[in-house]
Structure 1
Amino acid sequence: MLTTDSTVPAHRVPELTDLMRTAWWMTDRTPADVRHLLDHSDLVIAITNHPTDQLVGFARVLTDYAYVALVLDVIVAETHRGSGVGAALLDAVVTHPALADVRSLELVCQPDLIPFYRRWGFTEQVGTSRLMRRTADRRLTD
């Protein structure tokens, strides 16, 4: 049985940090970083497997609640991939009442996940827009 929550309690932050570190783009996350991102995300979705009480899925959203919502950090525990946890996460995000009037729900994903996200109406056809990024190399400032 899966339980979907809109918060991540403080005692689960180390568990969420460990889950995040299984994804290539989040390997450097620390519990302090994760607490900070939870405090500054507009929406979070956490999925727990019962009776094991294991955190098995997570996603978060940054939004202005009118024009755009950006889905970030979608992660499912490797042991639960293919079991419906990812679908439950996306269902919870796209049907969240706070996002009902948002014009554009957006995310970035690897090419192999495009078919998965298409099930919720996401498309890679976004005109001529291109993803651009500016990063700060923390190693230079530490």
Structure 2
Amino acid sequence: MTETHATVPPGAPVFPPGRYGRRREPGRRRPVLTTLLALAAVAALGLVSLRLYQQYGNPAYDAQVITYTEITDGQVVVDFRVTVPPGGSAVCLLRARDRDGAEVGRETVTVAAAQGEREIIARHRLATDSRPFIGEVVRCRPAG
């Protein structure tokens, strides 16, 4: 069968009959496969998001500095409050900075609430390399 200008759209190439074999029909679309791949990608992203939220974004652990006192050339005492799930414990990162904002002391402290309590009030003596200007709680996260 030869192609004529009546069966070929304008601008399409015309090949000699029988030389290149039969022309393929346009590819069949696979909407089911596309949908399954999209669902798998959404599920994978959802699992990654959940894992990262559990690791870094748990709002149940909230810390506030109450006061920092007893500032000397080698220490600062930080009083802080941590909110945890009832009876839970937390690991908090404390640091001290000098007047220029440079870090002069850093320590990780584990605090635990009494059974059924959600709030922990803790006091920690933080050793420093030089005279601190401020003591602060950087973050708290679940212990373990």
TM-score, normalization by structure 2: 0.24
- Between structure 1 and structure 2, the one with the greater Rg is 2
TM-score, normalization by structure 1: 0.24
Bigger helix share: 1
Q: Which has the higher contact order (CA 8 A, sep 6+)?
A: 2
